[in-house]
Structure 1
């Protein structure tokens, strides 16, 4: 937590701070993902006057995310830069009414962990691949096709065509 009253006391005042994030795992509806490394969160907070603050900063994190095809862990780098304006005249209730997503401001304190959590969530990748040509896993036996092959039948036919497939398989036996 960073006490913002130090900056709010005088117009034009600027402080710089570095904070380590306080969580080792990113937890969301998608699951739990270990954070393998992170730099300190570098913050600059400037009083713009009239109880408005300029908040900017940067953090770099590495998170283990499963590959979307083969489920092997991929070390994914997040380089997060942010630049936000905070109106400190609003109280928590007014911020919610204004649909302002400042859940990282509690009174006159800045919760750095909440700020970084929100930024990770916004920057979360849609799809993570271990390599561009990842072959994925066999849908029948679960073998990682990047590491070995399997002898499962891979033709995925429309189930409505099963009868026709059965007819052709009977002719093959003759």
Structure 2
């Protein structure tokens, strides 16, 4: 969804409030695709701070289905976002590059709300999601979910650098 910023960029101290629906049903990134279950509209306040500088503040929350980091079971995670961005509308494209300004959500005098929200979701995405605090994960040998059942696999995890020493001890046991 695009919001035209022409009127506010030319009127100092002007404020615009907008409720914009966030339409994507799936969040896609390098990590994969995650269904978005519930979501609130993006609540925006765009304020002209003078000298063609804009302050964009927004709020949104949504619920995404993310696999548990240990057992890979689906977990419903609520993500609340509050963000604030400053935009200098008088900078040219070359000046933005020089200042390393990576605001890809502004194109000319249009604010792309979907790109703005996508960037904020990436920033607020949880690094680790657990289905429960004491999640046992999956067996590294047979792949069974250890929260649901046990397996008969040998779970001694030895450092591969210690393999030589283990071999020496196993020879002594045979004698």
Q: Is TM > 0.5 for Structure 1 vs Structure 2?
A: yes
User: How has the CA–CA distance of structure 1 residues 39 and 88 changed in structure 2, closer, same or farther, with 3 Å as cutoff?
Assistant: same
Q: Secondary structure at the match of 1:65?
A: strand
- Report the TM-score when normalising by structure 1: 0.91
Name the counterpart of 1:44: 45
TM-superposed CA distance for 1:169, in Å, is 6.5
TM-superposed CA distance for 1:124, in Å, is 1.7
Count of aligned positions? 171
Name the counterpart of 1:123: 124
TM-superposed CA distance for 1:91, in Å, is 2.6
Cα shift readout 1:95-139 (whole Å, capped 9, x = no counterpart): 222111211001100011111111111112221111110000000
- Report the TM-score when normalising by structure 2: 0.90
TM-superposed CA distance for 1:170, in Å, is 4.2
Name the counterpart of 1:141: 142
Name the counterpart of 2:104: 103
TM-superposed CA distance for 1:6, in Å, is 2.3
User: How has the CA–CA distance of structure 1 residues 121 and 168 changed in structure 2, closer, same or farther, with 3 Å as cutoff?
Assistant: farther
TM-superposed CA distance for 1:53, in Å, is 0.8
Name the counterpart of 2:155: 154
Q: Tell whether the 8 Å contact from 1:92 to 1:107 is kept in structure 2 after alignment.
A: no
Deviates more, 1:28-37 or 1:140-149: 28-37
Structure 2 counterpart of 1:167, from 160, 164, 171: 171
TM-superposed CA distance for 1:167, in Å, is 3.1
User: How has the CA–CA distance of structure 1 residues 63 and 89 changed in structure 2, closer, same or farther, with 3 Å as cutoff?
Assistant: same
Q: Secondary structure at the match of 2:143?
A: coil
CA RMSD after TM alignment: 1.6
